[in-house]
Structure 1
Amino acid sequence: MVRLQNLLELFNAQSATEWRTTLLDIGQELGFEHTLFGIVPNRATPLESSFLVSNYPEQWRATYDAQRLHAVDPTVGHCLSRTMPIIWEPTTFHGNDQNEFYEQACSYGLRSGITLPIHGSQGEFGLMSFVASGRHHAANGDALEALSSLSLLRDYAVESSRKFAQTEHKQQAVQLTGKELECLKWVAAGKSSWEVSRILGRSEATINFHMANIMRKFDVQTRQQAVVKAIKQGVVVPA
């Protein structure tokens, strides 16, 4: 059972980092290793631009965003048109694409969970997922007992996140030069510096120089992180 004091701490958070820590701690107290909260101000906003809080494995998040796996994720399709939670496990996934998606998720320890749609009072859209590495939550009825607490947590999370989500959506997108954007698009397509240098007819050192500038502008340490942020901000659209 979620404690009221924990819920109120979401409203008392003074920063997005503090809010994130509080939310993820509550999810773990409820017995779920992983929690994800994603919200956009309206349905016209691309999902890649969502205000996202998650302790999912970073490599899975990078793969999910880069490959735009929300297009085959059945929980996203469910949340688009419904208000009831979806309890998911292997039988939730149908067809080759969804089964392959589920196998990928399982390889990162994401085996079963509960996803709650978000349809905010101000037109917001999103979802909140609570995930376990095993199958016990969906298999033995624990999920049904947890639903009231998770629904309450979702409602508090939506209301308390507004001041942080709105700030993030107002931030200016990173400005890239034409050459930097060219490089980043090819890196997002999985090309190495050498391959990009052959494609663009420039030296490998020049490509590395542009990528170093891109990572500095996005304030990240790796190329993959730069790609993920670029997709999230709509700077790059995966092919």
Structure 2
Amino acid sequence: MATQLTPPDLSVLFERLISASGDCELADCVKAIVSALGGESYVFVAIYPGVSTAARPTHRFLIGCSPEWCQMYNTNKWYMTDPFLEYARSNTAPITGSEITLETQGQCEMLAAASEHGFRSGIVVPVHTSVSDRLGVLYIGSDDSQEIGEKKLGAHRLYFRALASELLDWFNRVSKRELVEAHGITEMDLRVMGYVKMGFTAEDIAHELDVSIQTVYGNYKKIKDKIGVSHISEAVKFAQINDLLA
């Protein structure tokens, strides 16, 4: 039976989650939070629709359920017709399994398989950011019947929404750090691209940084070479898509 934690206890777990240094520590925190709130299985996926670079995948997963279920999900390509994923793209409110409308045989098969692998009942929590249409989806499952499980999980929907939000923030921070390290982007590079984003000319930037225009053009070249583009505006677009600029 899951251990019921008080809000202060949950706050400690959330603080640990926010400062988690890697996926393993993060997964342990999420497992503890989900268990405390009556769940038994979970999957979180962070989706980056606008990202197409080789430096970072467009989907990132945190899995706390049966590996067999994930294999079935991928093998059958259920991600192409997942009704919860489709719902999450244009909605922000959590939704339970019984509330979703199944329209295809494949969706019925997916839900039937899910019920055999830790998601007999469940709640799905979408979370969005305003940057590049980034999306997170938290799936929480229970082996309880729909009537019991959905009521139990639904009672903690506010905590699950907070969990989904913190997970998407965590993955965004990690992704940005990985991208910056992979391309060797410096704080000065980001500062220069930030000025370009605001419409500053090279002369304006030189004045702001108290350097020569030649130095600014030198910065442009370094940035373009690191990112692999031919114009500074393309570098700025890359930085915006990947949420590198404030």
Bucket of the pairwise TM-score, normalised by the shorter protein: 0.5 to 0.7
SS in 2 for 1:14: coil
Which residue identity lines up with residue 57 of structure 1 in the other structure?
A: S
Of the three residues 11, 18, 22, the one matched with 2:18 is 11
Q: Following the alignment from structure 1 to structure 2, what is the Cα–Cα distance between the partners of residues 158 and 86?
A: 18
Q: Distance in 2 between matches of 1:36 and 1:135?
A: 19
Task: Say whether 1:135 aligns with 2:145.
Answer: yes
Say whether the 8 Å CA contact 1:27–1:130 is kept in structure 2. Answer: yes
Q: Percent identity?
A: 18
Equivalent positions of 1:42-57 (< 5 A) are: 42-43=49-50, 49-57=58-66
The two structures have a TM-score, normalised by structure 2, of 0.60
Structure 2 counterparts to residues 44-83 of structure 1, below 5 A = 49-83=58-92
Per-residue CA deviation, residues 84-105 of structure 1 (Å, 9 max, x unaligned), is 1111138743442221221222
Report the counterpart of residue 159 of structure 1 in structure 2.
169
Larger Rg computed on CA atoms:
2
The 8 Å contact of residues 43 and 65 in structure 2, kept in 1 or not, is answered as yes
Cα separation, 1, equivalents of 2:75 and 2:180: 23
The 1-side partners of 2:31 and 2:174 are apart by: 16
Tell me which of the two structures has the higher relative contact order, counting C-alpha pairs closer than 8 angstroms and 6 or more residues apart.
1
Q: Which shifted more, 99-108 or 85-94?
A: 85-94
Task: Determine the structure 2 residue equivalent to 1:88.
Answer: 97
- Within-5 A mapping of 1:1-239: 3-43=10-50, 49-89=58-98, 92-123=101-132, 124-136=134-146, 141-166=151-176
AA partner of residue 38 (structure 2): G
Q: Which amino acid aligns with 1:66?
A: T
**Structure 2 residue runs without a partner (length 5+):** 1-5, 183-246
* Counterpart contact for 1:86–1:116, Cα < 8 Å: yes
Alignment partners' CA distance in 2, 1:153 and 1:60: 22
65-74 or 53-62: bigger deviation: 65-74
Alpha-carbon RMSD: 2.9
Alpha-carbon distance in structure 2 between the residues aligned to 1:28 and 1:57: 15
SS of the residue 2:92 aligns to: coil
The 8 Å contact of residues 95 and 124 in structure 2, kept in 1 or not, is answered as yes
Residue identity opposite 1:64 in structure 2: Y
Q: Contact 1:51/1:168 (CA < 8 Å) preserved in 2? A: no
State the 1:139 CA deviation.
5.8
- Three-state SS of the structure 2 residue aligned to 1:89 is helix
**Corresponding residue pairs, total:** 171
TM-score, reference length from structure 1: 0.62
Q: For the residues of structure 2 that align with 1:168 and 1:56, how far apart are their CA atoms?
A: 26
Judge conservation of contact 2:37–2:153 (CA < 8 Å) in 1: no
Letter in 2 for 1:36: V
Distance 2:160 2:22 in 1: 23
